[in-house]
Structure 1
Amino acid sequence: EVTDIGAFFSTFPVTLDGEPPLKKKRVEAGFPGSRGLFDKWRAAQQKLRRHHLMTKWSKQRPRLDQVQSFLRRSGWSTNCIPAEEVVRRWVPPSTGQEEQDVLHYVRDQNWTGLIITESQKDGAGRGVFATRDFNQGSHICDYHGRVISASEGRRIMESLKEGEGSYIFFFKTANKDLCIDAQAEHCQCHPQLTTFGRLINHSAKNFNVKCVVAKLAGLAEPTLLIKATRDICAGEEILIDYGVRRRSFGGEGMDLPWL
């Protein structure tokens, strides 16, 4: 019997609108007798749904009929959060608490509501997709990697072989030219994870996120947070404007299909 929760969640991703994997599907996927994993999946989805509902109304406590109406439209037929609980437990968002949550996500790289799969964009390879709705201004994830000097980043760029992808993100802060080196798929601090930020694809016209520099208390280096520039629906690909055009770098981008 397979009891690895990581393998189970990889086979059955926890999404906002997904149906719990019933016994037949679990057995077919090689998880016989996995009731404990099934219960953990349901608990993880409930946590995801509870967070979504608690943060959906940011201005004032929602009315019971508002929550009930949203739940009916959501189509969640099982594993639901009672509308009465949402109204009873709602509290105004705390800026300090939000920063603590973001710090926790950055340190542990346990961002929720995202999945890595093949992109629909020609030549793009893998991409990052939303598995739940995100409101405009929400923190989606961070661009995670080593913070190094821009000059070191340029040396890495120059050493790349022809056709090799670049995962170097240059930025400025406090009059310093820096960059994030996410060239390695698995960073030293999270060797078991493929982080989301480095796999977000480019779109100059249809981007839905942007990168902002943040200084989080408790972290020595600045963080590049990726925020939603508009409301994002579950199922959408997360896209960012790299700031590169076909005629950038003396026209070297003219033959890049992802542009």
Structure 2
Amino acid sequence: MGPPENTFDIPLHRCADLVIKSDTPKGRGVFATKNIPAKTIIDTCPALVLGREENTKHIEHTSLYHYTYNWPIIDAAGNRKAAQAVIFGLGSMFNHSTLDQNVGWERDTSRLTITYRALRDICAGEELCISYGSRLTFKDADCPPPPSPEEEMEQLSRIGLD
């Protein structure tokens, strides 16, 4: 019989069925090499919560800022505030998808971790994507380009022709 399990022990999940590709339209991305069933835990990643001043004075001025997550903290007065956190492991390697996210994530603020889980069945060869939320600091590669003025006029001219 092994030692008693501590409630703060964090089980680690190996990522043998995943690869990071660097030549995708979105840059680096995480891809499945085997089918992954829905609800499978992909990874549990530790978080390093940054001080608010540290983030504002330093991190926001570097490329690292684009890899941080919003993280809720309680300040000395007991008020809930937003901070930033660096997520280690695969957490900062997942690309964003507005239309086809297949991985969800959940913070554990007491253990300073994020757990990533398959939202649906993921096929071998498919990129694993999460939602970064609605405040993107980049152009969303998933959103189709707006129609040209000519295409828009053509679409408008079709309205009511049925």
TM-score by length of 1: 0.42
The one-letter amino acid of 1:103's match is I
Q: Residue 200 of structure 1 contacts residue 238 of structure 1 at CA under 8 Å; is this kept in 2?
A: yes
- Conserved? CA contact 1:127–1:199, under 8 Å: yes
| Residue of structure 1 equivalent to 2:16 | 112
Hey, what's the Cα distance between the residues in 2 that align with 1:209 and 1:196? 12
How many equivalent residue pairs? 131
Are 1:222 and 2:127 matched, yes or no? no
Which whole-Å CA distance do the structure 2 matches of 1:178 and 1:131 have between them? 34
Is the CA contact 1:149–1:177 (under 8 Å) kept in the aligned structure 2?
no
The yes-or-no answer on 1:197 pairing with 2:101 is no
TM-score (norm 2): 0.63
Partner of 2:159: none
After superposition, residues 25-44 of structure 1 pair within 5 angstroms as none
CA distance in 1, matches of 2:134, 2:39: 23
Higher strand proportion, which one? 2
Asked which structure has the greater RCO (Cα within 8 Å, sep 6+), the reply is 2
Aligned partner of residue 136 in structure 1, secondary structure: coil
Of 16, 22, 29, the match for 1:127: 29
Give 1:136 shift. Answer: 1.7
1:120-147 deviation per Cα after TM superposition (whole angstroms, max 9, x unaligned): 3x2x211101122222222111344422
Ranges in structure 2 where 5+ consecutive residues have no aligned partner: 75-79, 143-162
Higher normalized helix content (fraction of residues): 1
Letter of the aligned partner of 1:180 in structure 2? A
Deviation string 1:160-205 (CA, Å, 9 cap, x unpaired) is 2xxx3521111226745343224xxxx6xxxxxxx32211111100
Kept in 1, the 8 Å contact 2:11–2:44? The answer is no
Give unpaired runs (5+ residues) of structure 1: 1-96, 188-194
Measured against aligned partners, the alpha-carbon deviations of 1:52-97 in whole angstroms (never above 9, x if no partner) come to xxxxxxxxxxxxxxxxxxxxxxxxxxxxxxxxxxxxxxxxxxxxx9
Summarize the Cα distance change of 1:180–1:229 in structure 2 as closer, same or farther, 3 Å threshold: same
